[in-house]
Amino acid sequence: MASEKAMDIEKKSMAIIEQEVGKHNYNELEWIIVRRIIHATADFDFAKQNAIIFHKDAITSAFNAIANRCVIVGDSDIVLAALNKKSLSDFGLGCVCKISDELVASEAKQLNKTRAEVAMRRSTDDINNGIVAIGNAPTALYEVIRMANEKIVKPALIIGIPVGFVSAVESKEELLNVNVPYITNKGRKGGSTVAASIINALFGIYRDRMG
């Protein structure tokens, strides 16, 4: 009963979003993702033209990664905590976030780097052919970009949507020049909730159309 009520509330919420946004410039699948972001944040700025930027291969590459039972690498535990657990189980997907590992903290201190940078570098095997979800740390996004440019890794998808005032905007702009499928946004907004909502939307589309 509680589940039915939750679904009813979600349907009403989506209907409100559709009504308030009206016309938009996203295609059908992109809009499902953007609508999920708005649902998670109640922020209608994400509906603006090109507020969310999709690489032409982003969604297809994500579906292929899911089909191949990829690993999702997050820059924070919050990203992974917000992922749909049933989808993770049904699709046989792994999750990794090394930001809290003691070895990461020790190495970051020794190398004078952020834990986010070291955590990404230590997640190389999982990043390769995986989905990277960055909603918090621009330094994590910069590190993944460096690894991709160095051809150390080739992620199936980089969700680069860090929030903040220092390097968030710049790291997203740099992501646009990387030869890897990505989903990102313009400006300072973003966050772990946004990153997770993008993945959950991809899960939903995959289940409905591919699963």
Q: Find, among 58, 39, 38, 56, the residue nearest to 159 by Cα.
A: 58
β-strand partners of 133 = 74, 159
Whether 147 and 153 have beta carbons less than 8 Å apart is answered as yes
* 55 is an active site residue: no
Instruction: Please identify which residue in the block is written with the tokens 């992974």.
Output: 80
Return d(Cα 95, Cα 141) in angstroms, integer: 17
Return d(Cα 161, Cα 95) in angstroms, integer: 18
Which of 24, 39, 48, 146 does the annotation list as catalytic?
Answer: 39
Residue 143 token pair: 């590190």
Return d(Cα 158, Cα 78) in angstroms, integer: 17
Which residues carry out catalysis?
Answer: 39
